[in-house]
Structure formats: C-alpha cells, structure tokens
Structure 1
Amino acid sequence: METNLISIIIPAYNADKYIARCLDALLAQTYGNWEAMVVDNNSADNTAGIIKNYAQKDPRIKYFLQPIKGPAAARNMGLDNAQGEFIMFCDSDDFYEPDMCKEMLAAIQRWNVELVMCDCNQIMTDEANQRRAASFAYHYSKIFGLKKLKDKEREVINVVLWNKIFKKEILDKYKIRFPVGYEFDDRTFIIEYVSIIEHFYSSNKKLYNYIYTSNSIMDRLSSRRTNNRIYDSYYSMEFVCEFMREHGLLEKRRQLLLAHLHRAVGIIIGNAYSDNEIIKSFTLFHKLLNTLKGDYLKSGTELLRLIMCGDFNSAMAMIKTWNAQPKPLRRIFCFSEFASGCKVLGFPFLDYYYNEKGMKANLFGLIRLWRKNFNVGTLCIEQIKMQKSDIKIPNISPAFENNNIAIVLCADDRVINYLCVALQSIIVNSSAKNNYDIVILSSIRDTSYNIRRISTITTPNNVSLRLVNIDEFLNGIDMSSYFSRSELPKLAYTRIFFSTILSKYAKILYLDTDVVTDSDVAELYNIDIRNHAVGAVRDFGVSTGIVENYATNQFSEYAASVLNISDTYNYFNSGVLLMNLDFIRQYDLEKKFVEMASINNRFYMDQNVLNSILRDNVLWLHPKWNFQQYSYAYDGEIYEDFFGTEKNIVHFCAPDVKPLKRFGKVENAVWWKYARQLPFYENIISEIQTRSGDVSSSNQNSSTSAPRLPSLNKFIYRKYIRNITPLNAVLKWIKIVK
C-alpha cells in the first residue's frame, strides 16, 4: 500500500514548451502517492494555463503563483505548502523516468538514510548552447552505494536538487530553505542539508532526464553576465557559514565548508572579465574568512589562506599561473590583461600591484595611473589584541583548557626559515594525547612573504599556532642602556619580560628558532619545576671553559665581578628554557632582570641577565634537551662526555654551524630532515643557490681566483646529503662536491 506521500516541487517560468512533458512524466509514475507543487514565477507565456489544465484533470497537481521572480522563492513556496513526508524536486524543462518516485522512496526506506541520490541521463537539444564536457561530468554521480558520510564524501555530493529525495522533517527542524534573491541557492540548500545528515545512499540507476536547453536555469547561470550575479556564489557561502555557526557545525564540518569556499572563489574567478571583479571577490571573502577562528584555515587551500591574510598580490599571481580555461574575452579582448603582458624596453606597459590596502596600476612601472582602496588587512595567523595601558601588553590566553603544552618562540624576519623548520619538527613529533599551544612573539614585518611561509605549515587539530607582534610592547620599554650584540636588540630581551607578556600562563617552554626537536617536547614540558624558576641545560662553551680558552676573553672574571656567578660551570644556555612564570612573579624577579640588564655590558645579552638572577633556582636538565652544536668542539672527547649520545633537541647555537650557512656537519642532517617537509623547501634551496651565485660572481670580478670551498666528509655526504637531489645539485654547482 502506497502510504508515504512524496511532495514534488517544480518551479516554472516561461516553460510552455516543456512543462507538459514534465507533468506527463509524473502522471506516468509507477508510484502513485505523490503531489506536485508547481509554482509559476509569473510567466509571460502560456505556462500558467497549461499547469491549471493539468490540475483540473488530476488533483495531485497543484498550481501556485509566486510573483517574486527566481526559483528560490518558488521552491520555498512549494516547501511551505508541501504535505509529504519526503521532498523531491524537478525542473520544468526536465522529466522523470517512470520508476523515479518508486525507486527513490524504496531506497530511502530500505537503507534508512537521510538522503538518496540517483544518476541521470543528460540530453542535448539542437537549440542548446554547446557546453563544456566538464558540465556533463559534474552531473554524473561520483560515489555509489550506502555510505556513512565522511568529510571527503560530503564534499563530492553534487549540489543539484533534482536527482535527490529529502526528508521533510529534517528540512523543517533545521529551517533549511533557499536564500531568495541569489543564484546558487541550491548550493546553499544542499550544503546545509549535507552538513546535518550522517547517512547517504547513491544509486547508479539513471532515473532523471536532464535536458540542456537555451532557457534552462543552468544555461542562464552560464550566461550570468546578463543579470550581473557574479558574486552570488560568495553570498551563498555567507548563508552556509551562518547556518553552521548557528548549529555548532563550524568545527565538525570544517573540511566541507573549506572545500565549498574554495569552489565559490573559483566560480567567481572563472566568470570574471577583469582583475577588478576578482579583487572585489577577494575583499568579500577576506571579510567572511576572518569571521572564523584564527587557525580555521590551517587545513584550507593556499589560495584561501592568502585571501584571509589580505595578500591579494600573491593570490592574483597564483591565479594567473593556473592552467584553467579562461574566458576568451579575458584572454584576447580585455585591454588590461593584454597590456599587462606587454613590455617596452624591458618595462611592463601596465603593471598591477595588489595588497591588503588596495590595488594600483602603473604605466611602465613608474607612472601611477589609478588606485583602488579597500578596508581589509588581517593576518591569517591569529593576531592578539593589546591591553590599553602605557605599555601595550598582549592579551594572550592558553589555547586549550586541558593538557596545554605551552611553547614560546621569538622571531624576526631574519630567522623565518629557521623558525619554520623548528615549528615543523615540533608538530611532526607531537602526540595526539596532548594539546600544543605554540605562541610566536614576533617582530616580523615582511607580512606578504614571511607570514605566508608560516601559514603553509600544516597543523593538526590539537596544535594551535599564533603569531603575536610585540613591537608596541617593546617600544614602550626604555632599553637604551641594555647591552647589544644584535641589529635588533629589543626582541632579544623579550625573555626577561615573559612573566608580564604571558601573564595568564603558569609555565612555558621557550625554544630558540635555531633548534630542531627530534622527539615530543611534551616530555620535557611535563618535568616538575614547581620549586625552581627555570629548567635548563648547562652552556657547553662556558661551563667547560672552552669559550674562555678558545677566545681568551676572561669571561669567568666578568661573571664573578658583575654577574655574581662564582662558578661558571653552573651557567646555562638560554636556547631551551622550561620557565616557571608563577615562581618568577611570586618573587618579583622581572624587576631584578631589568636592573641587571642595565648593568650587564659584555659578552652575552639576556642570557647573562637570566643566569645572574636565576643562578640559585635552576633545575639542571639532561643535556639531551639542548644538544648544542659548536664547530670548534665537535671532535673533542670532552664534547661527547658532556652531552652523551641522546639528542632530543639539537641547538645550532654557534654562527658557523647554522644549517643554512654550512652543509659540512653531520648534525645538520637532522635540520634538513625537517626542512625537506616544508612546502617551500625548494624555495629555500633556490635562495641558497642565489646567494652562492652572488658570491661566485663577485669573486670572479676580483683580481684573485675564487677560493675553493672546503669539501665534505665523504661518509657524511654519501649517507646524508647525496640523496637530497636539489641540495646535491647546489653543492655540485658551488663546487663543494664533484
């Protein structure tokens, strides 16, 4: 017995050529318990008369007049008046196969799922515009059978309505309707529905006949320039984001949302006639993306991350390198596109530049023609707001409530590659049972380049990565009397202010950027230092006296007279510090740090300060937590006696052992292991090659021949470097190896 009523919703506008075929197919259905909600969009032809004629003959066909133009309003009227337990849709110029209703209802009941989809026949008419093959491929089903939906399967469910059957109770419970006034309303409807459900069945039976006509909805979308709806894919995603936020689905359906956000950007790019239209879409998506959490796009595409950052120049560069099929008018007739590729005497005829503030065009790269400004510009990595006071203090809170492993690094533009390798090593060795709260206190200014590199690092859900610019904080502190060995001394002294900057943290693990962690740092972080101010490893050069003997710099005398350190054996290296910030606050040690910073005037900067004040409150850690690389001591027995063989954290602390400067150290292999995992690894190699080339050419111009660089130890080369093809090529090119 046919007890389950199916409501079939059919929007119709000027469809007198096709609507009879559509309704005849319904009357021929082998399942009879259905109602057809045929909604006329105030057609100017005989569509209304044909529908009313069918309605008089069969009460299952119901006529509705919707004066508001557009299929969204028509479908909503159908949904509001539908009495059925199940909902199906049909376009007025298409038609069902006789078993469509029977098969779709049987499937949704048999498999006890929330959504069923069938395959379709696609038929071209003589009058239809010839469409790309991709249009056909899109409508064919990509998955078949019963599915408990996972992220990837949700993404590949196409967003057409007519090949699916829905449960009306779900549509009503979550108030899923079509946004009126926008095209891509079906995209919004499908994404919202798919984000709610858990089970799905896809049949390989071709039960729907999709007809390509010159007046079909899809063909009108293809020629959307007649109604200026280029940005409607953006507005459709606005509705989706709001729906997911309202129902607490933003995190649960992150991959689904990111996939459709990327497609929505692509739709606009594919239909844009000018760069202006693309840039406007960037401004729209920039605002939308920045309503999400700072780390939301860590698994998103690079294009979305660039748009979220406001780095429109890089986003445009990426688009222009894609091998997509651009519109012929964009490629041939658009003056700006043609002119921007022309050069006169080596200068571009028209040169475009895009950033977070706007876009501008220059003639011959020199003469400003015009500029367009817009109000955007937010970092893709979370920005931390400053508290209002004379000294601007970052308002930073722990990222996780439980098992929060707080890791802090300090960085400026010069160390960006070292920073990224350090981050990669931390993340790769992280454990799923812990949460890793990584805070980068930065003075990074080259946002279009360096922050983009950081944002390419993939982080799992249990890793938070935040970038905090502390220039304003440091500018509020008088450091004129502080000893400096650096071009940017202020950032180097950040560690003595951690108890203020990180006021909501009880304990943190500080790491220099020139380290790699070859194990899970949670083991180090969880060491109990409740009765100590800091956990640290002795500084190899100072503690053993090698620095003093090597440089004859009388450090021990200075340490005793100025720093009040009588035994330099107990002098720690500050590159890896487990810091008890509560202890430092309890005894007001930050004030003492500041006083000593004004007194210290030789050798080391804040490392001297920290050692002087904390000398009696140090928990000495196993040397494996800060295995310090010194070129002049590597082969000595004292080196191995001091550190042993374990190397959980390797610290490239001496200038002449930095991995980007020297390849001849076996320990550098662990750094390159993580560097190779970065998305921009090839760029690092290219930069090294460029620098080496500059040196080579400058030597050639001198009166003496270029000195041959030292050759590598053959064992090290064969075991660790030869298989790194790009690096091997660089080494051969600069003649370190043959």
Structure 2
Amino acid sequence: MALISVIIPAYNVEKYIGECLDSIINQTMADLEIICVDDGSSDSTPDIFNEYASKDDRIKVIQQENKGPSAARNTGLRNATGQYVYFMDSDDYLEADALKELYDISEKDSLDMVIFKATTFDEDTGERYTTSYYDMDKIRDFSQGRVFNYKDLGELMFSISVSPWSKFFKASVVKDLSFIEGIIFEDNIFFIESVFKSKRMYFYDRYLYNRRVRSGSLMTSGKNFTDYIFVANKLIDLTKEHGMFDVCKYNLFDKIIISNFLRFSQSMGESKLDYFDKMKKDFLDKKEEYAQDDIFEVIPERPREIFDSCIRSENAREFELSINLYDTTHKLERTQDLLEEKKQELIDVKKDKRVLFKTTQKLSEKLNETAHEKKQLAKDKKEYKQEIKDLKYVNEQLMTSTSWKVTKPMRAIGKAAKK
C-alpha cells in the first residue's frame, strides 16, 4: 500500500497532461499511487496516460465514459489505497517537494487535513500572480501555526478555498465521501463535509500548487451556473446539521447572495433568464424564514439590496439594471466622499502653507537680526583687536622711554618699602 494516492481526473487535456504528470512522478516523495482517470477523452489524453504508465509502475490508468470531473474523482477515490489522498487537476502542476512536505507535516501532528496556497498563471498572457482567495490570509492570521477544527474556525470556514487540490487529506476522512455528480461547484459541498469530519486541520503557509487559467476550462466556458443555488442550500443544510448555522449564518448568507449575483452576471442569454427565475424563487422561499431572524439587520447593505431587488424585479433585465444603478450610485457617493476628503486636504495644505510662510518669515527676520548681530560683533572684535594693539604699542613706548629708565631705582625702593 502506498503512502499517498494521487488522483488525476482528465478530459481532453493532451496539451497539458504531460506537464502535470511530470510534476507528480518527479516528486521528492516517491511512495505514491498515481491514479489517472480518463473521463472519456476524444483526444490523445488516454494514450499519454498509457505511455507514462508503461514507464512508471506507480501509475494506474482507469478509463470510463464521459461523466464529468466529479464522477472521475469518485472513481479515483474508490480505487485509492493510500494512507493519504491528494486530488490533482490535469492541467496544473505541483511543486516538486509538495507531497513530501505535506506528508511529513501530517505525520508529525497527526493531521486529517492540510490546507495550503496556490499561485495562478494565465496561459494566454503568461502572467503569474497570487489572489486573496488562494492566499487565505484570514486563515493564516487565525491559525498562526496551530492545529484547529471546524468549531475553532466558526464562520472562517467559509474563508477557505474549496478547491480539493489545495488540500491534503487523510484517507479515512474522505474515503466515505463523494463528489455530487452532474453538477458544477460540487467541490463546495465536498470541502465542507470534509471540514466537518476533520478533527485536526492545519494551514501550511506555502505556495505548493500552480493553477492554470485557460479560456476553454469548465469554469470559464460560460456553462449554466444555476447549480450554485442547489449547492448554496446544501451548505446551509450542512451548517444546520452540525450545529454551526447560528455561528456562520451572517458570513454564509453574505457569501451566498454575492456569489449568486456573480453567477447570474456571468450567465449569458437564456441561461441568465433561467438563473434569475430560480434565484428569485429561492430568495422568496427564504424571505419569511430570515425575516424572523436578525440576518437582514446584520449583513452588509449590498447583499441585502441584491436580495430585496431580486424579489422586487419582474425580470432579469430589471434586476440587473437595479443593481447596476445601486453600484453606480454608491460608487458616485464614494467618489464624492473622496473628493471632499481631497478638498479638505487641499485646504489643510494651504493652511499649512500659510503657517509655514509666517514661520519662514519669522525665521528670515531672525536670521537677518542674527546676521546683523554677527556683523556688529565682527566690527566690535576688530575694534577690540585694534585697541589692544594700540595699548601694546603705548606700553612698548613707555617701557623704552628715558623717564621710565630714570625712575626705575625709585620704583625698586618703593616696592621694598611696601614689603
């Protein structure tokens, strides 16, 4: 039995799968079981899998008809035998020491889950960058190197990236879980279920994963996003089931409303109309329940406006325009506030300039006075030097005079008499 089972679901990724596999087979942790699940690819992806498998007996290739990434991950999970499980996306790559570090940390602290960070690179532009979503600074600041569980996290559990590839799982935590098949955003549910099952979690503050953004990927292909409404309700049910809804409801409700509007905005054509109808029905179903709670009194103004505007609007276009108007109005208000701040700063600067001018003027006057005093002192010094010189001259003349020499004996008798 291998120490780590790496599960790689793949569909038509012939352009990327080689780089992905290379990053796994070249890990500094060698004791791996690499499960490659081809999800009915129509390109050369399965051939590439088989070629790698012929050279590395750690690779196990499973082929199935196209069922989607959830089904492919589930197939891999059912066939996994390792002590730990790691899910890898087929168009990304992993740092060479990642699995060794994650394994060592997990063994040292008997962890059920390790959460780590990812960098993103754009295939089209070549740009490489980090994002707050995958940096998870709130979790880093909260944990500070400590082990924690979901009760410790509270509402912060919804500040963690849900992507399975940014987690390293103990097999016993996830073996009886599965990804819901046939929908997108399924990793939200899998992640929260795994959080509730994990007694010991740890945030590893390192970038170990390299995430590719490409125009043809599932999440950028313009697919209907209405699955999110189902997923959001499932998240609510899970928090209630584990007694965490009251702790998480404000953060969760805020996240759900904002995410709903985001998915609505990303939808196109008929999909957008369909999303609006389903979102409005969902919000109407929730309105009475949440009106009895204090959720609407606590959540920020924008998600509250999205919720109310969706219910008020007759159609998708009216809803979209109402939120655009709200956002534009508030942006204008913020711009006006900023303008007022800048005006006040300008007034303060002008005031400071006047104060500075007066201060400078006083200093200039003082400097002039000091220069005058210095000039006068220099003149006095010159006069004193001349006076001393004149006195020395008079003294010298006196010392060499005939009268001074004639009276010398008399001065000596006078000094003796005083003694």
Cα distance per residue 1:587-627 (max 9 Å; x no partner): xxxxxxxxxxxxxxxxxxxxxxxxxxxxxxxxxxxxxxxxx
Distance 1:323 1:8 in 2: 47
Report the equivalent of 1:697: none
Q: Name the CA shift for 1:310/1:318 in 2 (closer, same or farther; >3 Å).
A: closer
More strand by share: 1
1:15 alignment partner in structure 2: 13
Q: Check if 1:140 corresponds to 2:143.
A: no
Is the CA contact (8 Å cut-off) linking 2:185 and 2:231 kept in structure 1?
yes
Cα distance in 2 for partners of 1:248, 1:198 equals: 16
Could you say which residue in structure 2 is the equivalent of 1:161? 164
* Cα deviation digits, residues 161-180 of structure 1 (max 9, x gap): 212102222224xx432111
CA 1:158–1:48: 2 relative to 1, 3 Å: same
1:33–1:253 CA distance, 2 compared to 1 (3 A)? farther
Separation (CA, whole Å) in 1 of partners of 2:325 and 2:207:
39
In structure 2, what residue type is equivalent to 1:322? D
SS at structure 1 position matched to 2:230: helix
Q: Which amino acid aligns with 1:61?
A: I
Distance 2:255 2:200 in 1: 20
CA deviation digits over 1:34-74, x for unaligned, max 9? 21121111000111111122223323211112313311111
Tell me the CA shift for residue 206 of structure 1. Answer: 2.0
For residues 76 and 291 of structure 1, the distance between their equivalents in structure 2, rounded to whole angstroms, comes to 35
Given the superposition, is the C-alpha separation of residues 177 and 302 from structure 1 closer, same or farther in structure 2, using an over 3 Å criterion? farther
Contact 2:184 2:225 in 1 (8 A): no
| 1:80-479 alignment runs, 5 A limit | 80-126=78-124, 136-142=131-137, 143-144=139-140, 145-146=145-146, 148=148, 149-172=152-175, 175-197=176-198, 199-215=200-216, 217=217, 220-224=218-222, 227=223, 229-251=224-246, 253-255=248-250, 257-273=252-268, 276=273, 277-287=275-285, 294-295=292-293, 297=295, 299-301=298-300, 312-313=311-312, 316=319, 317-318=322-323, 320-322=325-327
Aligned in 2, Cα 1:4/1:262: closer, same or farther, shift over 3 Å? farther
Alignment of 1:601-612 (within 5 A): none
What does the per-residue CA deviation read over 1:513-555, in whole Å, with 9 as the maximum and x for residues that have no partner?
Answer: xxxxxxxxxxxxxxxxxxxxxxxxxxxxxxxxxxxxxxxxxxx
Paired residues of 2:225 and 2:264 also in contact (CA < 8 A): no
Q: Which structure is larger by alpha-carbon Rg, 1 or 2? A: 2
Q: Which residue of 1 aligns with 2:370?
A: none
After superposition, the Cα gap between the structure-2 partners of 1:40 and 1:311, relative to the gap in structure 1 and judged at 3 Å, is closer
Say what the alpha-carbon RMSD is for the aligned residues: 3.4
How far off its partner does 1:100 sit? 0.9
In structure 2, distance between residues paired with 1:55 and 1:119 = 29
Amino acid at match of 2:252: L
Q: CA deviation at 1:11?
A: 1.0
Tell me: CA distance 1:255–1:193, structure 2 relative to 1, closer, same or farther (3 Å). Answer: farther
The TM-score normalised by the length of structure 1 is: 0.38
Give deviations 1:410-451, integer Å, cap 9, x for gaps.
Answer: xxxxxxxxxxxxxxxxxxxxxxxxxxxxxxxxxxxxxxxxxx
Q: Are the counterparts in 1 of residues 36 and 60 from structure 2 also a CA contact under 8 Å?
A: yes
Structure 1: tracts of 5 or more residues without a match: 325-738
Measured in 1, the distance between the counterparts of 2:95 and 2:198 equals 27
Cα shift readout 1:240-280 (whole Å, capped 9, x = no counterpart) = 23444455544454355334423432322431457844354
Name structure 2 gaps, 5 residues minimum. 330-419
Q: What is the CA–CA distance in structure 2 between the aligned matches of 1:127 and 1:40, rounded to whole Å?
A: 29
Tell me, in whole angstroms, the C-alpha distance in 2 between the residues paired with 1:192 and 1:259: 20
Measured in 2, the distance between the counterparts of 1:83 and 1:263 equals 39
Identity rate, percent: 29
- In structure 2, the partner of 1:53 is 51
Give the match for residue 343 of structure 2.
Answer: none
Q: Structure 1 residue 26: deviation in Å?
A: 1.3
Deviation at 1:313, TM superposition (A): 2.5
SS in structure 1 at match of 2:146: strand
**1:77 aligns to what?**
75
Q: Partners of 2:291 and 2:183 in 1: how far apart?
A: 27
* CA shift in 2, pair 1:151/1:110, >3 Å: same
Post-superposition offset of 1:9? 1.2
Q: Name the structure with the higher helix share.
A: 2
Q: Distance in 2 between matches of 1:293 and 1:247?
A: 23
Q: Deviations over 1:544-603 (max 9, x none)?
A: xxxxxxxxxxxxxxxxxxxxxxxxxxxxxxxxxxxxxxxxxxxxxxxxxxxxxxxxxxxx
Measure the CA separation in 1 of the matches of 2:169 and 2:103.
Answer: 10
Distance in 1, matches of 2:309 and 2:254, equals 20
CA distance 1:50–1:311, change in 2 (3 Å): closer
- Return the TM-score normalized by structure 2: 0.64
Q: Using a 3 Å threshold, how does the CA distance of structure 1 residues 193 and 19 change in structure 2: closer, same or farther?
A: same
Q: Distance in 2 between matches of 1:61 and 1:289?
A: 51
Confirm or deny: 8 A CA contact 1:54 1:61 kept in the other structure.
yes
CA distance in 2, matches of 1:45, 1:177: 27
Deviation per residue, 1:146-205 (Å, 9 max, x gap): 353423431211122212102222224xx4321111111112222332344454322232
Residues 540-579 of structure 1 mapped to structure 2, 5 A cutoff: none
Higher relative contact order (CA 8 A, sep 6+): 2
- Residue 75 of structure 1 aligns with an amino acid whose one-letter code is R
Residue in 1 that maps onto 2:22: 24
Deviations 1:114-168 (A, max 9, x none): 321222332233478x89x8x8443334243335342343121112221210222
The answer to whether the 8 A contact 1:279-1:312 is kept is no
8 Å Cα contact 2:163-2:187 kept in structure 1: yes
CA contact (8 A) 1:93 1:211 kept: yes
Distance in 2 (alpha carbons) for counterparts of 1:115 and 1:256: 23
| Secondary structure at the counterpart of residue 208 of structure 1 | strand
Residues 195 and 253 of structure 1 are in contact (CA less than 8 Å); yes or no, is this contact kept in structure 2? no
- Give the aligned residue type for 2:311: F
Q: Secondary structure at the match of 1:82?
A: coil
In the alignment, the residues of structure 2 paired with residue 322 and residue 205 of structure 1 have an alpha-carbon distance, to the nearest angstrom, of: 36
Name the CA distance, whole Å, in 2 between partners of 1:233 and 1:310.
19
